[in-house]
Amino acid sequence: MTDLGDTTQSNGRNDKLPKRNWEATYKERWFDLKFSHFVEIILTGALVGIAYFQYTVYTRQAGIMQTQANISADQNKISTSVQRAFVTVSAFDMPVRFGTGFAKDRKYWWFIPNIKNNGNTPTKNMRYFIAATCPPELDIGMGGNMGLSCNFMGPPQAEDPEVLMKDQTFKGKTHAALLGPQSVLPLGGVGVTEGSIQRIKDGFPIFEEGIVYYNDIFPGSDLHTTKICFQLTASISDKNEIQTSYGQCAHWNCADEECKTDREEYDKQVASGEIKPPVWTPPPGAKKFEMPIPVVPAPDPK
């Protein structure tokens, strides 16, 4: 009979099961904070805090850089607006000159608008159109490139020069020019007789109006527009001398986006009846604008 407790076999091998004389008395807990754990938590929190601080700093720096970029862009716009070409009427020349040829003994009182480039850079691709309404006496001096708008069915009225320029009579009659920084250019001009001056003094209206298109030299420049419209005036001094002057029309003195607003305001006044637009009904076969007689060319200002 074999003794099960005997672990020694004849072959020298011990097949006896070991005795379990021990038992685990310590069970690993799921949450066991030690000092090293506290250190890790503190360091992790510190890193999170540093990361948040760096994010805040970078965000503020990015905001400051964007603000500086916006300021720089605004400064560039301001610099461009100051430096760019900007054309306006600066003044009128109003000399008294004798005519030429058959009118060499006749005096003409001239009204010559001068446009000026108020910027510090030259204009680019500049073109202009300038015209005047007919005087009461069909005897007139005219400067170069000047158009004449005659309505024989009623008193002259100021018209939108952009519309006037597109009339069939004036198509293709814009003229090229160049205005350097702070330079002045006289535009055409009209000269009227003493008889017309008397009529002007009594209230007969004569208008000079025109439009100037140009770009500036800066990249991406939009097409700039300047409209001009002036009414000629006259008076007699205490010494019985003729004194000439001029005044702005109620509309058509504007630049760029202002011209759109000016046109809208004009259309509103027409719609309300406050302003009556120019109306001319020509006889059959007549042109809207026609030259009644040859005009006297502008004499040499010298």
Phi, psi values for residue 174, rounded to 5°: -85, 155
Per-residue CA distances from 225 to 160, 228, 273 (Å): 13, 10, 28
| Model confidence pLDDT, tens digit, residues 28-72 | 554 555 667 677 778 888 888 888 888 888 888 887 877 777 766
Count up the domains in the chain and report the number: 1
Residue 17 lies in a domain: no
Contacts of 55-64 with C-beta under 8 Å, sequence gap 24+, read none
pLDDT at 56: 83
Mean predicted lDDT score pLDDT of the chain = 81
Q: Is the pLDDT of residue 115 over 70?
A: yes
Q: Binning pLDDT at 50, 70 and 90, where does residue 86 land? A: very high
Q: Who has greater pLDDT, 206 or 39?
A: 206
Beta strands in 200-239 (DSSP E): 207-215, 224-236
In sign, the C-alpha dihedral spanning 269, 273, 274, 279 is positive
Residue 1 lies in a domain: no
Q: Which domain holds residue 130?
A: 87-297
Task: List b or e across 86-122, with b for residues whose CB sees 16 or more CB atoms inside 10 angstroms.
Answer: bbebeebebeebebeeebeebbbbbbbbebbbbbebb
Given the structure tokens 């760019």, which residue do they identify? 84
Residue 31 lies in a domain: no
Please compute the mean of the pLDDT values over residues 111-140 and round it to a whole number. Answer: 93
Residue 18 lies in a domain: no
For residue 288, give the amino acid letter.
K
Residue 273 lies in a domain: yes
Q: Binning pLDDT at 50, 70 and 90, where does residue 293 land? A: very low
pTM > 0.85: no
Q: Is the pLDDT of residue 14 over 80?
A: no
Judged by DSSP in three states, 80 sits in: helix
Residue 107 lies in a domain: yes
Residue 80 lies in a domain: no
Residue 60 lies in a domain: no
Q: Who has greater pLDDT, 25 or 215?
A: 215
